[in-house]
Amino acid sequence: MKKLVFLFFLLFSGALWCQEESSLLISKNTFSFRDGYLISSPYHSMYDRNGWLWILGENKLSNEYILGEQEIIIQRFDGANFFTLKLPNTYDKKIKGGHFFKHKPHGLYLKLYYQAAREELFYINTETLEISAVEDYNNLNENYLISKAYPAGDFNRIVLTSNDKFYSATLDKLSLRFIDSIPFDKPVAQPILADPITTDNYTLIKLLFQNEGYFLNKEGKFIKKIVETDFEAIDGTHFFPKTIHTSFKVNNAFYAYLDNYENVFKFNKTLKKFIEIPNSSNLLSKNKALEFTPDFKHAFSTEIFSDYTAIELYRFKDFQKELLTKIEIKSFSETAYREFGKDLVVLNGNTLEPYSFIESKIKTFLKGKSIRTIKKLKENKYIVATDAEGFYKIDVKENTEERIKILAHTAELAINYSRDIFIKKDNTFIIGDSENLYTLDSNYEVIQDETVKIRGEEIIKINDTLFTANPRGGISKYSINEKRYTKIANTNAIQVKEFTTDGTRLYGTSSKGIFEYENGTFNTYEFENVETDNLLSINHLEDYGILVSTKFGKIYTFDTRTKKLKLFYEDELNASIVGMVADGTGTLWLNTYAGIVSLELSSKQIIRYTKKDGVYELKGNMFSTYKDEQDGSIFMGSYKGLRYFKPDELVENNIDVQPQFTSISFFNSENDRWEINTSPSFLNNTSEIVLPSEYRRFSATLSVFGQMNTQDIKYRYRLLNSDNNADWFTTYSGKEILFANLAAGTYTLQVETYSASRQKIGETIALKIISKEVFYKTWWFILLLLLFVSISVLYLFYQYKVKQNLFAKNEIALNEAKIKNTMMLEIHHRIKNNLQIVSGLLGLQMAKSSNAELKVKLQDSQSRIESIAGIHNLLYNSNNQDFISVKENIENCVTYYKKLFPINATYHLDIDTSILSINQATPFSLLLNELINNSNKHAFAETEKPAIYIHFEKRDKKYVFEYFDNGNFKNQESQKQAMGMKIIEMMNKQLKGDLRIENTTNFKLTLLFSTNE
């Protein structure tokens, strides 16, 4: 009996479930290399708790056209932008694969598999992006062969195997702690683990190919060995399953499919047994291929065909599944999801395709049918008139549609093009077509004696009077109480498109403009600012008055006092507006030829809902816009169905998503480099950044994490400071916000996010930017500069005064120097003249004397006097009266002796540009005079080619003078020679020099004296 009840429950729940219609909206985007996706061969992908997708794979940029080893990288994806991370150092171990698994509190684990080494485990802190090796795991000895991780409450557990044991351990960031171990019945060479099966209280682990397995409790302890009696078939037999296919949870009980059994097995948590449930083979088609989400509300199946793989997405309720959608992808693709049933990412090669699944809040009933009018029957139930397919009853809660048969004398009556439906207090209906008004009872049967012949389609009720309009012209009224039908005079030329009323007056759009009727009289109004033919829909709304729409997307307010039309709204697409209604908040909802539009007056926010929002048919239909005054829901008819929604649910003001910065890039002065900051810890804790004066530039990227298609999102941003109220700029998902060359100051970057229907998403986010002033524009530098300039001016003024005084003193000194210089020149001139007079007198004396010895002495004296006179002559003829040129002095002396002696001696001069003071020049000249004189007189008697060599240079801090000739030197010198040598010695002492004479065959003298006097 229990089994029959169980089966009845399943079938009943399936019947209810099948009545629901999926309104899933699917959007897909594609990313590749040009979008920043660098991975060419993905290994694995997984979402972290912050909403980032982590992808492990081969770098497309590494040896793209070379077969062989590829660089392995990690990329993070925020839904719009990609950011690359390098793997930790693997010390040249060749990676062949890898996968992620989650750390329960936070973070991810990454397991890398190597070609010729044991796998390694790494912990990724998803807040800081630090990747660290789990040394406790990596340093395990080689006895541990295989491992599988599984979640257990708030902990990460891991099961390991050796050749003879199971081991249970817990992972916590970088630590691995063993909990328990238990031996196999017999050693196993390759103890490969099957995927763990986890229930609320237990985890079942087993070897893939051997009959070895255990139950673990929540604490990770081995509590029970798995044996054949733990698996019981319908016929009472027991077996040890080779494969546990799919486990899932229904009503707090776990079920699984085992081996090739068609029925499902229920897990008895008390007995820790799996028991086959009879007659459950058809509960889930393709059941063994299903993979469930942790909450067991959604699942997917994969089926590989020849050239593609089909992924079917399901929603589950009890034991029944509803197919949400089917996606065809390339075979051997990687998949990942953040919240299954709401998103899916497919990775294949260098292509990443995110899918977004959003439950539409706009339902569509009576698809394919042209809708005319709607009226409420009772809670959640409505009657709908179509153009040519009769009447229907819909239930918006149960999502059911039921065609209404209208009977007249037991025969079905076809009533089409009914413009309105009126429900009387006695639950009878008044409906009409172009020729008759019908009254129906509650069973939709025509009350024959209340049928009235009319000529008209458009119809409206004011109090107990129905007004009808003939599309070919003419307006009539019908009194319900009096059952009297009369035509309003003089209206034959008026063709009414649509009626409305404020409760007392009747208004309409017509071929003559706006029609207005009250108490038996009417008027029509045409306008200069609107062509009459363009008038379309009309409605009276409490908050707006009389609104009139046109074929070209304009809405006007009709002033009942001035009888003028004033422009109220203009559709940006110029789409015809065929219906207008206001919700409880005063927001105006428009049924247009380009979807549904909401207009919120206070914020001037305009939102358009189209097919991507669940609007089945964009082109609206006239006369078919209706608001339920009790619950506020709105119906808008189209040529292909009836759109139904609740405004407070449709408006996404409370979207549970928030835009976030996913990268902030700027120049970090402390690290002296440009940094791209993408770690959540930085982004979540940074409210301001500082830009150095030399690099005032920054950029940022954004994304929205949640049930949103990022490609339907756009951002607007502005950079504010105290000096201006900047304009907003628009950017799109995946684009970078960049500012460069900012002036110094404090700014605030404000960013707002909007959906494709122009609804604001989340709150405005802000980032403070401090742009540093260049140092020479800072106040302290300007103050220092002013102080420096002031001090400099004062100092310069002081120096000017000092220089003025010095200038005056210098003028006096220069004048005195000029006088002294003139006097010195005169003195040198007179000394030279006097010496020449003396020399001349000596010459006269020599000429008159007949004593040869006297002549020689007089000649020696004359040459000495000429040497001294030559010095004064040089001083007189130079600009410097203190120093003379050595070269010029020696050359003058040589010239003199060439004239004095008939010996044709050759002079070899090697003299630098040294100068001597007069105190040194005089004794040096006398010394040189004696040397040349001695050489000419005594050295060349037996020399055929006499030569004299003179060398003078400044060497370090000494003057070096070298003199030698090629004559014959004799030791037996005369008295004259002794006198010359005495003069040379005397001059050497005066010069304070170091004199050396080499007197071998030739004569050579070397004199060194100081450059300082």
Residue 303's nearest CA partner among 320, 288, 293, 315 is 288
Rg (CA), the chain: 57
CA distance 41 to 52: 19
Domains 658-773 and 882-1013 share a fold: no
The answer, yes or no, to whether residue 1 has pLDDT greater than 50, is no
The answer, yes or no, to whether residue 544 has pLDDT greater than 90, is yes
The answer, yes or no, to whether residue 284 has pLDDT greater than 70, is no
pLDDT-based confidence at 286, cuts 50/70/90? low
CA distance 948 to 891: 13
CATH H superfamily, domain 882-1013: Histidine kinase-like ATPase, C-terminal domain (3.30.565.10)
The answer, yes or no, to whether residue 545 has pLDDT greater than 90, is yes
The answer, yes or no, to whether residue 454 has pLDDT greater than 50, is yes
DSSP sequence for 698-756 = EEEEEEEESSS-GGG-EEEEEEEBTTB-PPPEEEETTPPEEEESPPSEEEEEEEEEE-T
The answer, yes or no, to whether residue 435 has pLDDT greater than 50, is yes
pLDDT tens digit sequence for 586-608: 899 999 999 999 998 887 888 89
Percent composition of the chain: helix, strand, coil (DSSP 3-state, to 5): 20, 45, 35
pLDDT-based confidence at 825, cuts 50/70/90? low
CA distance 893 to 948: 13
pLDDT-based confidence at 89, cuts 50/70/90? confident
Distance from chain centroid for Cα 895: 91
pLDDT tens digit sequence for 113-122: 998 888 999 9
The answer, yes or no, to whether residue 307 has pLDDT greater than 90, is no
Mean pLDDT (whole number) for 900-912: 86
- Contact between residue 966 and residue 946 where contact means Cβ atoms under 8 Å apart: yes
- Contact between residue 374 and residue 384 where contact means Cβ atoms under 8 Å apart: yes
For CA atoms 826, 829, 835, 841, give the dihedral sign. negative
Residue 624's nearest CA partner among 816, 377, 383, 798 is 383
The answer, yes or no, to whether residue 166 has pLDDT greater than 60, is yes
* β-bridge mates for residue 347, sequence order: 334, 352
Q: Provide the pLDDT for residue 377.
A: 93
The answer, yes or no, to whether residue 874 has pLDDT greater than 70, is no
Average pLDDT, the chain: 85
The answer, yes or no, to whether residue 873 has pLDDT greater than 70, is no
Mean pLDDT (whole number) for 323-336: 85
Q: What are 778's two structure tokens?
A: 């800072």
DSSP sequence for 125-151 = ETTTTEEEE-HHHHT--TT--EEEEEE
Cα separations (Å) of 976 from 658, 861, 937, 971?
A: 120, 12, 10, 13
The answer, yes or no, to whether residue 959 has pLDDT greater than 80, is yes
Mean pLDDT (whole number) for 78-92: 89
> Where is average pLDDT lowest: 209-213, 241-245, 762-766, 937-941?
937-941
Q: Provide the pLDDT for residue 975.
A: 42
∠ CA 838-839-840, rounded to 5°: 90
Cα separations (Å) of 621 from 389, 513, 578?
A: 15, 21, 6
Claim: this prediction has a pTM higher than 0.85: no
CA distance 341 to 358: 8
CATH annotation of 372-453: 2.40.10
pLDDT-based confidence at 39, cuts 50/70/90? very high
DSSP sequence for 604-628 = TEEEEE-GGGT-S--SEEEEEEEE-
| Three-class secondary structure of residue 803 per DSSP | helix
Better-scored residue on pLDDT, 279 or 832 = 279
Q: Provide the pLDDT for residue 772.
A: 85
**Strands in 879-942 per DSSP E:** 883-885, 906-911, 915-917
Share of the chain above pLDDT 90, in %: 41
Mean pLDDT (whole number) for 277-299: 74
- Residue bearing tokens 């940074």: 686
Q: Provide the pLDDT for residue 141.
A: 85
Question: For strand 906-911 and strand 947-955, is the pairing parallel, antiparallel, or unpaired?
Answer: parallel
Q: Provide the pLDDT for residue 974.
A: 47
- Spatial neighbors of 234 by CB under 8 A, at least 6 apart, are 263, 276, 278
Q: Provide the pLDDT for residue 663.
A: 94
- Extents of the domains making up the chain: 1-30+287-331, 372-453, 658-773, 778-881, 882-1013
Q: What are 184's two structure tokens?
A: 């196999």
DSSP 876: H
* Domain 658-773 indexed as CATH 2.60.40.10: yes
pLDDT-based confidence at 784, cuts 50/70/90? confident
Question: For strand 729-732 and strand 688-691, is the pairing parallel, antiparallel, or unpaired?
Answer: unpaired
CA distance 797 to 804: 10
Q: Provide the pLDDT for residue 662.
A: 93
Mean pLDDT (whole number) for 667-691: 91
Q: Provide the pLDDT for residue 414.
A: 87
pLDDT-based confidence at 150, cuts 50/70/90? confident
∠ CA 78-79-84, rounded to 5°: 45
CA distance 515 to 473: 13
Q: What are 82's two structure tokens?
A: 């990609």
DSSP sequence for 783-832 = HHHHHHHHHHHHHHHHHHHHHHHHHHHHHHHHHHHHHHHHHHHHHHHHHH
Mean pLDDT (whole number) for 366-373: 93
Q: Which of 156-160, 842-846, 971-975 has the highest mean pLDDT?
A: 156-160
The amino acid that residue 549 corresponds to is: S
Mean pLDDT (whole number) for 426-449: 88
pLDDT tens digit sequence for 711-736: 778 899 999 987 777 889 999 888 89
For CA atoms 272, 273, 278, 281, give the dihedral sign. positive
- Contact between residue 223 and residue 194 where contact means Cβ atoms under 8 Å apart: no
HSE at residue 937, side-chain half, CA atoms within 13 A, is 17
The answer, yes or no, to whether residue 682 has pLDDT greater than 60, is yes
Q: Provide the pLDDT for residue 642.
A: 95
- Residue bearing tokens 């020149």: 825
The amino acid that residue 577 corresponds to is: I
pLDDT tens digit sequence for 180-193: 999 999 999 889 99
DSSP 992: T
Q: Provide the pLDDT for residue 761.
A: 84
> Where is average pLDDT lowest: 266-280, 548-562, 651-665?
651-665
Mean pLDDT (whole number) for 626-631: 92
Mean pLDDT (whole number) for 954-970: 85
Q: Provide the pLDDT for residue 237.
A: 95
**Strands in 349-415 per DSSP E:** 351-359, 363-365, 371-378, 381-386, 391-395, 400-404, 407-408, 411-412
The amino acid that residue 916 corresponds to is: L
DSSP sequence for 154-172 = TEEEEEEE-SSEEEEEEEE
> Where is average pLDDT lowest: 96-110, 286-300, 337-351, 809-823?
809-823
The answer, yes or no, to whether residue 556 has pLDDT greater than 50, is yes
Work out the angle between the directed axes of helices 779-848 and 852-877 (0-180°, nearest 10). 160
Tell me how crowded residue 370 is: count the other CB atoms within 10 A of its CB.
20
- Spatial neighbors of 213 by CB under 8 A, at least 6 apart, are 204, 205, 206, 207, 225, 226
pLDDT-based confidence at 969, cuts 50/70/90? low
Mean pLDDT (whole number) for 765-773: 89
For CA atoms 121, 122, 123, 127, give the dihedral sign. negative
The answer, yes or no, to whether residue 85 has pLDDT greater than 50, is yes
